[in-house]
Amino acid sequence: MRKILVCFLTIGLLLSGCFHKEVIDLSSEKAVVEQTKFDEFLKQEFTDTLAGSKISAHFSVEDLGAYGLEDMEVSLGTVEAYDFDALKTSISTMKSFNRDLLTENQKSYYDRYLWMLELNAEYEGLEDFAFIFSVNSGINANLITIFTEYVLRSEEDIQDLIVYLNETRSYFGECLSMTQKHVDKGIIQSDYAIDAIIDQCNRFLDAKENEIIKVVSNRIDAFEPLSYDKKQVYKKQVRDAVNTSVIPAYQDVVKYFTALKGTQKNNGALCNWNDGKKYYEVLLKDNCSADITVKEAKKLLEDAIDDAIGTMIKIMQKNPSAYDELYYTLDMDADEALVDLQEKIQENYPKAADVKYIVDYLDPSIAGEYIVAYYLIPPVDNYKENVIRVNPSCTDLYSTLAHEGYPGHLYQNTYALEHNYHPIANVLNYIGYTEGWAVYVEMDSYNMMDVKLSKDAIALAQMNTYLSHYLVCLADIMVHYEGATVDEVEDYMYQYGMDGAYIYEVVLQEAGTYLPYGMGYLQMRALQQKVEKALGKKYQAKEFHEVVLNAGDCSFDYLEQQVDAYIKMKK
């Protein structure tokens, strides 16, 4: 029977070679019509995504009129359920296009946008687990950033911002009402999450000088078209709005969650609720930017942990003093570090876009322990101006700025904006890819620092960072998907010298937060190793990096296709 099967397979292969594959003329009238329709569809999708929120549109584009968005309602909006019907319509329309008639660049956007749409559709029926308030991605954290990063391009922007500030308390009220609906179903966050939310809000409330008032007032003072008297009027309106709406809104959040603490009947892990594990399965794919199962992710992490431990043991056996080298100091400020990084990356990375940036430090009242640094993605029609903020308590400035700046997020985003960019890319959200790249280059920055570290010390530092990322990701799976207790996490982490109780607390604050970093890096590094192994002496780091960057925001499944095509071409 086995021989017969082989014969059939052989005949099938022979027959498949007999058919002539049709060559499609992409310049034909039929193809051009399809390409034009597809471009119009993507532009409309981008516009529709922004149309629901002027405040979001303000950050995405400078010229709203170019996208027909000049007459948008000035409002923080309402807390509404996600429109899955509109999502399904977009998916159906995407699939109606003849992909074969599209250009290679359009095919790239077709594949990447459709993958994201179909993934988002998997969240239908699971919305109760997407907590509105959380320490990392919640509205409580993001709204402060939105207000302090709001660029004043016109007097109308000042007026709009004052409206948003005045609406904060009513908007938070709707958010709390939606949260209560989840609570009524028994879906309540862990006390660790609640404590983190309360602490974050109190840090903002307890500041001697309110950061929103300070930052916005300074921007109004710097807005030259206004007279002195008008500036004073607007600044007073900002102060009044913050004092009568924003501050009471955060006080409401503290009051609500203080009363909520301790009322849950479990530890707040997703697996405790019906469909919680299903939500985690989708969340994992989303945050890993890959079509991957929980079982597959866990196996990858366990193997990576074993590899990292094995490498660290070998290094310490060969060179016991390597660990002592890690206590180094790097005498650079943020600007000096970014200048140095821009110079160092020229050898192994494609040419950076010609852009400007500012880098400065966050006020402790809006940073705290939860934010190390962030890069603010610029508007699609003005990517020349970029912003990086750093927590003043950051202890590893050089690698942090490699992650956020060069050759990390700033470099990656502006490179994409300068090369074959379509506005729909602003909608693509592949956090595993973007954070995977940023951690990957952060690790490479150890090779760029002007400190005398041996190769063993550099490898040890990298492996230690890998291990930390991997272990937190594994704990996330153990707790939220497998239901591990604090004792089980402590027992597991003890063998690696890690504080299991602390890790347990961290992953219960917000599920999936660290997956993009650990799993994203793991997948990015695996692709780099695949290319290096396949090409041997032909391997060039700059070319691999160019393949990754040219792919744009994408899933790792898509990126691997691009990598495989590159390997085939090089061989």
**Position 8 pLDDT exceeds 60:** no
118-156 tens-digit pLDDT = 999 999 999 999 999 999 999 999 999 999 999 999 999
Are 298 and 349 in the same domain?
no
Q: Is residue 37 part of a domain?
A: no
377-412 tens-digit pLDDT = 999 999 999 999 999 888 889 999 999 999 999 999
Are 344 and 315 in the same domain?
no
Q: What is the pLDDT, as a whole number, of residue 411?
A: 98
What is the 3-state secondary structure of 502-569?
HHHHHHHHCCCCCHHHHHHHHHHHHHHHHHHHHHHHHCCHHHHHHHHHHHCCCCHHHHHHHHHHHHHH
Q: Which range (11-15, 87-91, 237-241, 362-366) has the least confidence?
A: 11-15
Are 190 and 260 in the same domain?
yes
Q: Which range (99-108, 181-190, 258-267, 363-372) has the least confidence?
A: 363-372
Are 247 and 376 in the same domain?
no
Q: What's the pLDDT band for 26 if we cut at 50, 70, 90?
A: confident
Query: 3-state DSSP helix/strand/coil percent for the chain, to nearest 5?
Result: 65, 5, 30
**Position 511 pLDDT exceeds 90:** yes
Q: Which range (449-458, 463-472, 500-509) has the least confidence?
A: 449-458
For the segment 3-19, the average pLDDT, to the nearest whole number, is 32
CA angle (538, 541, 546) in 5-degree steps: 110
**Spatial contact of 203 and 368, defined as CB atoms under 8 Å apart:** yes
For the segment 542-569, the average pLDDT, to the nearest whole number, is 97
Q: What's the pLDDT band for 12 if we cut at 50, 70, 90?
A: very low
**Spatial contact of 397 and 521, defined as CB atoms under 8 Å apart:** no
When divided into structural domains, the chain yields a total of: 3
For the segment 528-544, the average pLDDT, to the nearest whole number, is 97
**Position 208 pLDDT exceeds 80:** yes
Q: What is the pLDDT, as a whole number, of residue 368?
A: 67
Are 485 and 524 in the same domain?
yes
Q: What is the pLDDT, as a whole number, of residue 331?
A: 79
Q: Which range (101-115, 315-329, 330-344) has the least confidence?
A: 315-329
Q: What's the pLDDT band for 1 if we cut at 50, 70, 90?
A: very low
Beta strands in 185-341 (DSSP E): none
Q: Which tokens belong to 493?
A: 């982490």
Nearest alpha-carbon partner for 403 in 536, 516, 564: 516
Are 299 and 367 in the same domain?
no
User: What number of CA atoms fall less than 13 Å from residue 271's CA on the CB side?
Assistant: 14
Distance CA 234, CA 241 (A): 10
Are 234 and 342 in the same domain?
no
**Position 15 pLDDT exceeds 50:** no
**Position 100 pLDDT exceeds 90:** yes
Q: Is residue 528 part of a domain?
A: yes
Q: What is the pLDDT, as a whole number, of residue 7?
A: 30
What is the 3-state secondary structure of 338-397?
HHHHHHHCCCCCCCCCCCEEEEEECCHHHHCCCCCEEEECCCCCCCCEEEEEECCCCCCH
The residue out of 429, 444, 460 marking a domain boundary is 429
74-87 tens-digit pLDDT = 999 888 778 899 99
The count of other CB atoms within 10 Å of the CB of residue 313 is 11
Are 240 and 170 in the same domain?
yes
**Position 54 pLDDT exceeds 50:** yes
**Spatial contact of 117 and 48, defined as CB atoms under 8 Å apart:** no
Q: Is residue 7 part of a domain?
A: no
Q: Is residue 58 part of a domain?
A: no
Q: What is the pLDDT, as a whole number, of residue 14?
A: 30
Distance CA 258, CA 169 (A): 18
Q: Which tokens belong to 85?
A: 């019907």
Q: Is residue 24 part of a domain?
A: no
Q: Round the average pLDDT of the chain to a whole number and report it.
A: 92
Are 422 and 497 in the same domain?
no
221-280 tens-digit pLDDT = 999 999 999 999 999 999 999 999 999 999 999 999 999 999 988 999 999 999 999 999
- Helix or strand holding residue 181 (H, E): helix 155-184
> Exposed, middle or buried: residue 27 (CB in 10 Å: 0-12, 13-18, 19+)?
exposed
Sheet holding 356-361, edge to edge: 356-361, 385-390, 373-376
For the segment 486-492, the average pLDDT, to the nearest whole number, is 97
Are 317 and 463 in the same domain?
yes
- Radius of gyration of the chain from its Cα atoms, rounded to whole angstroms: 25
For the segment 475-502, the average pLDDT, to the nearest whole number, is 96
DSSP state of 227: -
Q: What is the pLDDT, as a whole number, of residue 273?
A: 96
For the segment 491-509, the average pLDDT, to the nearest whole number, is 95
For the segment 533-537, the average pLDDT, to the nearest whole number, is 96
**Spatial contact of 391 and 367, defined as CB atoms under 8 Å apart:** yes
Q: Which tokens belong to 139?
A: 């509205």
Q: What is the pLDDT, as a whole number, of residue 393?
A: 86
Are 138 and 259 in the same domain?
yes
- Alpha helices per DSSP H over 52-124: 54-60, 84-96, 104-121
**Position 20 pLDDT exceeds 50:** no
Q: Is residue 45 part of a domain?
A: no
Q: Is residue 530 part of a domain?
A: yes
Single-letter residue type at 128: D
Q: Residue 75: helix, strand or coil by DSSP? A: coil
Q: Is residue 39 part of a domain?
A: no
Nearest alpha-carbon partner for 388 in 377, 398, 399: 377
Are 310 and 374 in the same domain?
no
Residue 362: domain span:
334-429
Q: What is the pLDDT, as a whole number, of residue 221?
A: 97
Q: What is the pLDDT, as a whole number, of residue 24?
A: 78
Q: What's the pLDDT band for 22 if we cut at 50, 70, 90?
A: low
For the segment 86-92, the average pLDDT, to the nearest whole number, is 97
